[in-house]
Amino acid sequence: MKKARTIGALSAVLPLSLALAACGGGSGGGGAEEPAGGSGDGGDNTLTVWAWDPAFNIFALEEAEKVYQAENPDFSLEIVETPWDDLQTKLTTLAQSGETDQLPDIFLMQNNAFQKNVINYPDLFSDYSDADVDFSEFPESVVAYSTVDDVHYGLPFDNGTAITAVRTDILEQAGYTVDDFTDITWSEYLTIGKDVLAKTGKPLLTGQAGSSDLIMMMLQSAGASLFDDEGNPTITDNDALLSAIDMYGQLVEAGVLAEVNSWDEYINTIVNGNTATVVNGVWIVGSIQSAEDQSGKWAVTNVPMLDDVDGATNYTANGGSSWAISSNADVELAADFLASTFAGSTEFYDTILPASGALANWLPAGESDVYSEPQEFFGGQPIFAEVVEYAAEVPSNNTGAYYYEGRDAVSVAITNILNGADPAAALEEAQQTVEFGMG
């Protein structure tokens, strides 16, 4: 089949959908011998895919392959397990060397890295601008990650919609229920947190010191960003950012948010019952459920919103990824595979949800009976159907091509502010760091 950089001839492509899997990042070793590149003009009904995380992304690919083989029995996938950091390095190397013929047909891309890669390395991607794809069936905020100059380059997959998960038994000791955490502001959350801490001795929230994930979630909940529409950093004089950092500091100072030193310590605070709530992407459910003795003691609701910030909502996201079709791909086959599986097969989504917790970004999937099933671990609450509804409410924000540089600079600023630095001066330094990095 003919290689192309656009999907212009795909009048038969179904409306595309994508699943949610685990967190937006990922690790894990490779181990498989890597094929040279995509199918290109071979027409052999085989696609090569680069992705990370065997329990989520790769599991989903394997199940999608089975679904597609029902109508296309000679079809196969060559899946190369590739940790995210390695995948990004490979893409950069191939783009800079011009060896795009070594690309796979399809690769997974972290949402927050998508725009930077398309802008810096456009020759790596095929676009979806002429495809018969209804992107309105995905949350607008998620589609925006892989859209550059109104052109679609990715299909949303890993759902990073944020939740507040609460330990109902701990809250009950202090006289609260999950309803007390629904549709609230961060100042209300802080007030409740002080009371819960006084009555139970447990912080309401934990987080990894030096991480700005919670700040980024607060920002997106108001449709705010570290960058303007032209991609210029707006770290200084950013009212939403200042409000988020101020609230973060109040939470830490009050002991309502307990900082830990590593990701493993953070997970341990959850599974060992040392925190009363968790605010993170829905993928954190996998870690929460690893504490089998806590079954029935959790519930889920939306997240707090910033006080007195224009556009503030109770919905946000953390993490997520999308599928890209490479410039070296058998584009027609790749697009049809995605359209027929991740793009609307309820059979596919119903299979991957209970087995891996892989939640769909494709909104119609939430209408499935499987999504509406009560979850025993969460006290019989149909959390997956509810989270799909949350996803539709998440505001869009412009991450910019230098999202990671901005996030890292703000992380340093937060640490300095908590250690006594002037907030305006710390953020000005962060702004200068990002501007320098942008050249």
46-159+320-370 maps to CATH 3.40.190.10: yes
Distance CA 32, CA 47 (A): 15
Q: Do domains 46-159+320-370 and 162-316+396-437 have the same CATH topology?
A: yes
pLDDT by position in tens, the chain (length 439): 333 333 333 333 323 232 333 334 333 333 334 445 676 544 589 999 999 988 788 989 999 999 999 999 999 999 999 998 899 999 999 999 999 999 999 999 998 899 889 999 999 999 877 666 788 888 888 888 899 999 999 998 878 899 999 999 999 999 999 999 999 999 999 999 999 999 999 999 999 998 899 999 999 999 999 999 888 999 999 999 999 999 999 999 999 999 999 988 999 999 999 999 999 998 888 889 889 999 999 999 999 999 999 999 999 999 888 999 999 999 989 988 988 888 778 888 888 887 676 777 878 777 788 888 999 999 999 999 899 899 889 998 887 788 889 999 999 999 999 999 999 999 999 999 999 988 7
CA 348 to chain centre: 20
Could you give the CA distance from residue 221 to residue 219 in angstroms, rounded to a whole number? 5
Q: Are 103 and 94 within 8 A, CB to CB?
A: yes
Q: What pLDDT sits at residue 39?
A: 62
Domain residue ranges in the chain: 46-159+320-370, 162-316+396-437
For 162-316+396-437, CATH number out of 3.40.50.1100, 1.10.10.10, 3.40.190.10, 3.30.2350.10 equals 3.40.190.10
Q: What is the pLDDT of residue 132?
A: 66
Distant-in-sequence contacts of 132-136, Cβ < 8 A, 24+ apart: 132/10, 132/11, 132/12, 132/13, 132/14, 132/15, 133/13, 133/15, 133/16, 133/339, 133/343, 134/15, 134/16, 135/16
pLDDT score at 94: 97
Pairing outcome for strands 277-281 and 155-158: unpaired
Measured in whole angstroms, how far is the alpha carbon of residue 336 from the centre of its chain? 24
pLDDT score, position 315 = 98
281: β partners: 162
pLDDT of residue 93: 97
**20-51: burial string, b at 16+ Cβ within 10 Å, e else:** bbbbbbbebeeeeeebebbbbeeeebbbbbbb
At 299, phi and psi to the nearest 5? -145, 165
* CA distance linking residue 121 with residue 115, whole number of Å: 10
pTM given for the model: 0.77
